[in-house]
Amino acid sequence: MRGYRVGLWEALRYRGGIGVLVWILHRITGLGILLFVSIHVVAAFFMNALNDSISTAVTHWYESHPVQVFVYFCVLYHALNGLRVLLEDFYPPLLRYHRELIWLQWAIFVPVFGLPAFFIAQGIVLGTP
């Protein structure tokens, strides 16, 4: 007899710790990066091949400030979280400080993401490039 694959709803109902949340966010940001790169490559190809209005609109969309902020969030979070996982895997005693390392990761993430995001948002609100 084999175990069974647990459905998404059952899995989400499990009250795991902070580790689950950062792992889910790692997956979401990874998918975000994949989505952005895929759209970028496909739109750039059609832009060159056809130069039609759809590929122009898609290019304008992914070059817009909100999408740039989203991509910056995804890349920065994915990189920092990946770095933490690498550190924990190469120095297993650090896993005793798993929770603290996650807070440290957020302490680095918030200003490094927040400041550029703030200035981009300010630019959008004030209408400056």
Partner 1 sequence: MKVILKIRRFNPERDRAPWWGYYQVECEPTDRVLDALNWVKWYQDGSLAYRRSCAHGICGSDAMRINGRNRLACKTLIKELGNRITIEPLLGLPVIKDLVVDLEPFMKHYRSIMPYLVNDDPPPATERLQSIAQRERFDDTTKCILCAACTTSCPAFWARPDYIGPAAIVQAHRFIFDSRDHGAEERLRILDAPSGVWRCRDIYNCTEACPREIQVTQAIAEVKREILRRRG
By CB under 8 A, name the binding residues for partner 1: 1-6, 10-11, 13-17, 19-20, 23, 85, 88-90, 92-93, 95-96, 98
Question: Exposed (0-12), middle (13-18) or buried (19+): which is 81, by Cβ within 10 Å?
Answer: buried
**In whole angstroms, how close is the CB of 7 to partner 1 at the nearest point?**
9
68 closest CA partner among 42, 100, 36: 36
Q: Which is nearer to partner 1, 19 or 123 (CB)?
A: 19
Tokens matching residue 128: 């400056």
Spatial CA neighbour of 108 closest among 81, 89, 86? 81
Q: Indicate the residue among 3 and 129 with the shorter CB distance to partner 1.
A: 3
Q: Is the CB of 65 or the CB of 96 nearer to partner 1?
A: 96
